[in-house]
Amino acid sequence: MEKTIDIEEQIIELTNFYRKLKYRKIQRGIYTIYGELEFKIVSPEVVRGKYNVEIQVTKRFPVEVPIVKEVGGIIPDGFHKNDSKTLCLGVETEIKLFLKNMPNLLKFVNSFVIPYFYSFKIWQKTGRFPFGERPHFVKGIIEFYKEYLLLNDLSKIINVLKYIYNKGDLSGYCRCPCGSGKSINECFHQEKLKELSKINIKDDLYYIYCYYNKINGKRKKPIIYPLTSENFKKLYGIKNK
C-alpha cells in the first residue's frame, strides 16, 4: 500500500520555507504553487537567485512528479526545458527514485528545482554545468542507468529492466540479471533491483529497447505508442504477469 501523504501539509511546509510562494487549489486535485523562489547558495561561492515559478502538484504526488515552470521569462527555451516548456529537472526515473525514498515536496524543490536554477546561473557565468548535464530523451535515460547500475552494456541494462518488468524474484538465490553469474544475494545489484521494482520502469525499458534495436540496425517492428501491455508483449515477447 502507498503511504498516504497529506499534500496540503507539504505545500504549507514549502510555502513556509519559501515565503514568497503562495498556492491555490484548482479543480481535479491539482495544486498550483506560484510566486518567487528565492535562494542563496553559499558554497563554493555565494550565488543568489530569484525566479518566478509555477509548480503544479497533484494529489498523486509523489507517484506523479510535480511540473515546474519558470514564468518570469528568464530561462531561455534553449536551456533545459521539456517540449511543454516545463523545466527539465532530470531523468524522470531518477526523480521518482528520489521521491520514493523521500516523498517530500520541500526536499524535491531543494534537491531538483534549486539546483536547476543554480546550474543555470553558473552556466550563464561560465558556460559550464556545475553538476554535469544529462542529454535529453533516451540518451539521458541510458546515461542514468549506466551510472545507477554500473553497467556499460545496453543489452545488460535491458536484461535487468526486463527482469524487473517481469517481476523476477528479488529475494536472492536466482542469478542476477546483470549477467555477472552471481546470485542476486551476492551481486551488488540486489538493493538497486529492489529500488527499481518500486517504480514503473516500463517506459524506460521500451525506449532503451527501441534505441538498442535502432543502433543495431534492427527495424523489424514498428514503434507503437502509447503502449498497451498487449503491444508490449508483441514487441518484445515479454511475459505479462
Positions in the binding site for Zn ion (CB under 5 A): 80, 88, 176, 178, 180, 187, 189
Q: Which is nearer to Zn ion, 80 or 107 (CB)?
A: 80
Beta bridge partners of 48: 40
- The closest alpha carbon to 48, from 121, 115, 130, belongs to 121
Question: CB 16 → Zn ion: shortest distance, Å?
Answer: 30
Question: CB 80 → Zn ion: shortest distance, Å?
Answer: 3
DSSP state of 86: -
Question: CB 176 → Zn ion: shortest distance, Å?
Answer: 3
Helices (H) and strands (E) in the chain — how many of each? Answer: 9, 4
Question: CB 120 → Zn ion: shortest distance, Å?
Answer: 11
Beta bridge partners of 56: 32, 67
Phi, psi of 210 (to 5 degrees): -60, -45
Q: Which is nearer to Zn ion, 68 or 178 (CB)?
A: 178
Q: Which is nearer to Zn ion, 139 or 221 (CB)?
A: 139
* CB 93 within 8 Å of CB 141: yes
Q: Which is nearer to Zn ion, 80 or 121 (CB)?
A: 80
